[in-house]
Structure 1
Amino acid sequence: MTGFGQIDGVVSDGDLISHFGDAFREQRRLADGAALAPLGDRTVIEVAGPERLSWLDSITSQAVGRLAPGESTELLVLDPQGRVEHAAGVLDDGASTWLIADSGDAEALAGWLTRMKFRTQATVDVRSDLALVGYIDGGAVASTASAAAYAPHGVPLVWADPWQRISAGGHQYAQVAEHPAADFAWRVALLTTESADALAASLDHDALAGLLAAEALRVAAWRPRWTTEVDERSLPHESDWIRSAVHLSKGCYRGQETVAKVHNLGHPPRRLAALHLDGSDAVLPEPGAPVFVGDDEVGHLTSVARHHEDGPIALAILSRRAPIGDLVVRADGIDIAASQQVIVPADAGATADVPRLTRLSRRPSAPDPRDSGAEV
C-alpha cells in the first residue's frame, strides 16, 4: 500500500481506495482538475525490446507500429471470433511500451503476450512496483502529477486516455451532437512507490479523490472498461470501443475478420446504453442486475455510479432488439425505473457512413504461427 492509504479519513480495501471521506465533493474536484485519484485497481505491464511495437501491432487491434515517444493509444486483444479477451492503455517512451490494464486482467494479458513472443525480440514484465494516479488534465494537479511521473528513459510516463475523441482509424457509432467524453481529458501518471509516497505526503486533503469519484466520471463519459463491460461474448462494436481501440484500416490480426464483418454489415448482437436511474431509492442496484421491458429481460447493468450532477447513472448491455425507451432495472425484488439514452444504435455500422473494409476475403499465403489459429 502506498502513502495514499495512510491518509486520515480514507475508506479503502487494501490498495482500493473508495473515497477520502466525501465522495461527492471529491468527484466535483476531480472533474474540475483539482484532485487526483489513486488507481489501485490498475496494473502496469512493461514491454521492452527493439521489436516491441511491430510485434504488438501484429497481434492486437490497434496500429502501434509507429507510436512516437510520449504518444498514447489503446489496444484490444481479440479471440479468433473477434470477442474481447484483454484491453490496455498504451504509452511508449522510445525504449519501452507501457500497458495499463485492469488488475483483474493484467496477469492473464502478460501471460498471453509472453506465449505469443516466440522469437520476437521483446520482454514482458508485470511492474507491480509502480503505482498509478488518475486526474483530469488542465487543472491544478496536472503539473504536480506530471512532475512526479516515472521517467526511466527521459519521457514522463503520463497516459492520455484516447476516449476523449475518435482515434485515427477508429469510428464512433454513437449518434450524438456532442459526445459526453468531450470534456473527459483523463490522464494516468505512472509513479514509483517512492514518488507515490512523496506525492501523497505533499498533497492537501482537498486534492485527493477515490475510485467512486473516478468511476462516476467514467460512466458519465460512456467509457467502457475490461472489468465492467467485457464478458465472454463482448465484441468491440457493442460498446463503441472501435472509437478508441480498433484501427479499421490496419493489417491482419486475430479476430479482424469478425471486426470487419460486423462493421461492414452492421447489427451487432448487443448494444451499450446509458441509463438514468430513479433516485428515490437510497440503494443503488449492483452491476449484473437484470434490465426488463415489461416481463422480458433484455440485458443487464455493467457499471453503476452516483454522479454529482446527474444522480444515479449506469451503463447497460442490452439485446440489439431491446426497444428504445424507458426500461426497468430489477434489484432485490424492487423495480427501478430507468430512462435510456442510446450509445450504440441497433443498426450500428449498417447505416453509418463508414469506409468498407476490403480485407474480409484476404488470407495470407502461409499461416503466421503467432496468430495461434487466428482468423484474418
Structure 2
Amino acid sequence: MTESPIVSESPLLALPDAVASPAEGPDAGLPWHYGDPLGEQRAASTGAAVVDRSTRFVIAVPGEERLSWLHTISSQHVAALPDGTSAENLSLDANGRIEHHFVQTDLDGVTWIDTEPARGADLLAFLKKMVFWSKAEPRDGNELAVLTLLGPDTRRPEVAAALGLDSLPDRPYAAVALPGGGFVRRMPWPTDDAFDLLVPRDRLAGIVTALTGAGVRPAGTWAFEALRVESLRPRIGVDTDDRTIPHEARWIGGPAEHGAVHLDKGCYRGQETVARVHNLGKPPRHLVLLHLDGSADGRPETGEAVTAGGRPVGRIGTVVDHFELGPIALALVKRTITPDTALVAGPCAASIDPDSVPPDEGVPAGRAAVDRLRGR
C-alpha cells in the first residue's frame, strides 16, 4: 500500500469562523476555535461538541502476532487485548524515559495506533525496525483521521444515528466499527463522555456535517486542551521533557486504571527504571495543575521554568485559559514542593491546585524491606 502523506492542514479550517491553531504549536493545521472558545469548552463539558484532531499520526499493524509482539516492546499489557478493546501505551528508552505515548485499538484483525503528529514517523520507523521475525506488519495508517466527541449530550440517540450506529460504546476503551470504515472508541478522558472517532479521511468533513446536523457543536483544539489540562492528562513533548519517566507523568497502571504502564508484565525496554521507582523510591517530580494569576501581563511559555524564591523547581507544560478555572497550566515540579509554596511561572504568580497533588502512599514496599534488613 502506498503510504499517505503526513497531514498538514484540516479541511475543517474552511468552516465559518474557523481560526487556525498557532503555527508554532503542536496543533498547527487544525481549527483552534470557531469564534467562541469558552463557549465551545462549555459545550464540550455540558452539551455535545466535536473536535478535529486529524493531524494525529495513525499506524496500522496487521499480522497474527501483532499483539504478542507489541507486548514485548512496550509498557502496557496487550498480549491478550480482546477484539474491540483499546489501551494506552508507552515506548521507553533504555533508561525508562518516555519516547512515545500512543493509544491502540485492536479490531477485526488489525491494531490501530494513533500518536502525536510530530512523533508518528519516528514511532513507525521504530516499530518497523523491531519486527525481526514476528508476524506483524506496521505501516502508515493515515487513511484514517481522528475526531473526538465530548459531552453528556453525546448519549442522545441522534448522535449515534448520525454515525450509523444504534449506540456508542458504554465502557472506557471499548471500540466498535463504523459503517463505511473506521471505528469509534470510548475514552476515559478528558471528560466522562469522550469518544475518539477514527474515520476515513475522505469522509471527515461529511461526518462532521452529519454530527452538527444532530446538534453537535464544532469545537477547536483550545477546548480539548483546556479540558485535558483540567483532567491532568499530559501530552508528550509538551508536558514532558527528555528526562520524564512514567511515574512523573501519572501513566502508571493497566487499562483498568486508565494508565499506560502495567506493573505486572514481562520484560520491556526501560522496565528496570519503572520497577526501581515503584519498589524502592519515588519520582523526583510529579505532574500538577497550576492556577496562574490572570491579572499578569502575559502567560508563561511551554518549557519555561517554575521558580520558588528565585530557584527553579519545575517546568511549565500546556498553558490554557479554561472557561471556569481561568488561566491554568500543567507543570512538572519537584516532589518536595508543597501546595502552599509561592511560585512564579513566567510573568505570573502561580499556585499548585492541592487536589492535583498525588497522594503520599508512604514508603514503597521494596524500600521498607531494605530498611528492615539494614536495621532501620
Q: Which band: TM-score by shorter chain? A: 0.7 to 0.9
Q: Is the 8 A contact 1:327 1:340 kept in 2?
A: no
Listed as ranges, the matches of 1:160-309 within 5 Å are: 160-162=186-188, 164=189, 183-202=191-210, 203=212, 207-243=217-253, 244-281=259-296, 283-309=298-324
Pairwise CA distance, 1:153:
9.8
Q: Is the 8 A contact 2:278 2:364 kept in 1?
A: no
Aligned residues: 336
Deviations 1:163-185 (Å, cap 9, x if unpaired)? Answer: x5xxxxxxxxxxxxxxxx6x533
Pairwise CA distance, 1:117:
0.3
Deviations 1:122-153 (Å, cap 9, x if unpaired)? Answer: 11112223211112264237526754899489
Query: What is the one-letter code of the residue matched to 2:95?
Result: Q
Equivalent residue for 1:143?
160
Percent of residue pairs identical: 37
Instruction: Choose between structure 1 and 2 for higher RCO, CA contacts under 8 A separated by at least 6 residues.
Output: 1
Equivalent position SS for 2:138: strand
Query: What is the one-letter code of the residue matched to 1:224?
Result: P
Equivalent residue for 1:158?
184
Query: What is the one-letter code of the residue matched to 1:305?
Result: V
Q: 1:285 to 1:311 in 2, by over 3 A?
A: same
Query: What is the one-letter code of the residue matched to 1:230?
Result: T
Equivalent position SS for 2:118: helix
Query: What is the one-letter code of the residue matched to 1:61?
Result: S
Q: Is the 8 A contact 1:276 1:312 kept in 2?
A: yes
Query: What is the one-letter code of the residue matched to 1:157?
Result: F
Query: What is the one-letter code of the residue matched to 1:90?
Result: Q
Query: What is the one-letter code of the residue matched to 1:257?
Result: E
Do residues 66 (structure 1) and 80 (structure 2) align? Answer: yes
Specify every segment of 5 or more residues in structure 1 that has no aligned partner in the other structure, as ranges: 165-180, 357-376
Q: Is the 8 A contact 2:128 2:138 kept in 1?
A: yes
Q: Aligned partners of 1:157 and 1:33: how far apart in 2?
A: 22
Please point out which of 125, 141, 149 is paired with 1:111.
125
Q: Aligned partners of 1:281 and 1:155: how far apart in 2?
A: 48
Equivalent residue for 1:27?
41
Pairwise CA distance, 1:340:
3.8
Please point out which of 349, 360, 363 is paired with 1:351.
363
Query: What is the one-letter code of the residue matched to 1:317?
Result: L
Q: Aligned partners of 2:163 and 2:312: how far apart in 1?
A: 46
Listed as ranges, the matches of 1:70-149 within 5 Å are: 70-136=84-150, 138-140=152-154, 142-143=159-160, 146-147=163-164
Deviations 1:316-348 (Å, cap 9, x if unpaired)? Answer: 0112333442332342xx342334436454x96
Q: Aligned partners of 1:156 and 1:353: how far apart in 2?
A: 44
Equivalent position SS for 2:313: strand
Q: Aligned partners of 1:328 and 1:41: how far apart in 2?
A: 35
Specify every segment of 5 or more residues in structure 2 that has no aligned partner in the other structure, as ranges: 1-8, 22-27, 166-174, 254-258, 369-376
RMSD across aligned C-alpha pairs, in angstroms? 2.9
Pairwise CA distance, 1:283:
3.1
Q: Aligned partners of 2:267 and 2:130: how far apart in 1?
A: 16
Query: What is the one-letter code of the residue matched to 1:246?
Result: V
Do residues 4 (structure 1) and 28 (structure 2) align? Answer: no
Please point out which of 311, 336, 339 is paired with 2:349.
336
Q: Aligned partners of 1:213 and 1:262: how far apart in 2?
A: 34
Equivalent residue for 1:313?
328
Equivalent position SS for 1:237: coil
Deviations 1:44-87 (Å, cap 9, x if unpaired)? Answer: 11111111001001111001111112111110011111111111
Pairwise CA distance, 1:110:
0.6
Q: Aligned partners of 2:199 and 2:131: how far apart in 1?
A: 27
Equivalent position SS for 1:139: helix
Q: Aligned partners of 1:239 and 1:319: how far apart in 2?
A: 12
Query: What is the one-letter code of the residue matched to 1:226?
Result: I
Q: 1:282 to 1:308 in 2, by over 3 A?
A: farther
Do residues 325 (structure 1) and 351 (structure 2) align? Answer: no
TM-score (norm 1): 0.81
Equivalent position SS for 1:191: strand
